[in-house]
Amino acid sequence: MPPRQTSVGDTILRGKKVVVLTGAGISAESGVRTFRDNDGLWENHRIEDVATPESWARNPSLVWKFYQTRRRQLLEVEPNPAHMAVAHLEGKCKSLVLVTQNVDDLHERGGSSAIIHMHGSLRSLRCQNTGLSEVRMGEHDLAEGFVLCNCCTVATMMRPDIVWFGEIPLEMSVIQKEVEDCEVFIVIGSSGHVYPAAGLVNLANSNGAHTILVNFELPINGRDFDEVHIGKAGEILPELVENW
């Protein structure tokens, strides 16, 4: 059965417990490359070469260059109206938990609070000895060379603070509990390819939540949603939020 295309304003979020999950699509209009669209990140790099622990062990210089390029790009991009709309949503619900697959800081800069970065963050690096993460965005932290930690007596080479394929996403128990408890689950800008994030809509459906998708095109898991809005998030989300 095709997903229901609904008119704007079918769902009233007032007084509801809401979880929002975002993916790379919400940052696309800010100029941050997505993964699987044309000219996406994975077009120039195979996932196995730059986003797995094995690739880091095999060729740290290639992986470091891939992430340093993306870390430096954070200084050149700005949040777009979709990020601001998600922040605006917070004041319209009983509670809102924002979970993002994105590793950029555009939700923070767009005014959102209580953000769970389930796939890590570009702004911080992680000590490979202690596992401690630290925001490292100074000029010397963004140069070509590797960065050393500040937490060990013998400084250790830091790794990107990113959840790679084959690694366990962050705060999964918190995320699963919030999705089990929510009344409305909204996904914005995700292709539904990556698990366990892509499976959260099924968890929301099983707990009776109303599930909403806002995406540029119908993604691989598009039929799992009660309500689907197709378009660019920066263009359609502000009006949707106004009516919610």
> 116 and 97 in contact (C-beta within 8 Å)?
yes
Q: Does 79 bind ligand BV8 (CB under 6 A)?
A: no
Q: Does 216 bind ligand BV8 (CB under 6 A)?
A: yes
Residue 193 catalytic? no
Q: How far is the CB of 15 from ligand BV8 (least distance, A)?
A: 27
Among 9, 196, 207, 223, binds ligand BV8 (CB under 6 A): 196
Q: Choosing from 107, 117, 119, 229, which is the catalytic residue? A: 119
Q: Does 60 bind ligand BV8 (CB under 6 A)?
A: no
Among 2, 38, 173, 195, binds ligand BV8 (CB under 6 A): 195
Q: Does 55 bind ligand BV8 (CB under 6 A)?
A: no
Q: How far is the CB of 143 from ligand BV8 (least distance, A)?
A: 20
Quote the tokens at residue 140. 């010397």
Coil, strand or helix at 84: helix
Among 88, 117, 119, 229, binds ligand BV8 (CB under 6 A): 119
Residue 19: Cβ within 10 Å count: 27
> 3 and 187 in contact (C-beta within 8 Å)?
no
Among 132, 157, 193, 238, binds ligand BV8 (CB under 6 A): 193
Q: How far is the CB of 154 from ligand BV8 (least distance, A)?
A: 29
H/E element, 57 = helix 53-58
b/e 151-183 (16+ beta carbons within 10 angstroms → b): eeeeeeebbbbbbbeeeebbeeeebeebbeebb
Q: Which parts of the chain are beta strand (E)?
A: 4-5, 17-22, 95-100, 115-117, 120-127, 133-135, 158-162, 184-188, 210-215, 227-230
Among 48, 54, 171, 217, binds ligand BV8 (CB under 6 A): 217
Residues near 154 by Cβ (< 8 Å), separated by ≥ 6?
none
Active-site positions?
119
Residues near ligand BV8, by CB under 6 A: 23-25, 28-29, 34-37, 40, 51, 101-103, 119, 162-169, 172, 189-191, 193-196, 215-217, 219, 232-234
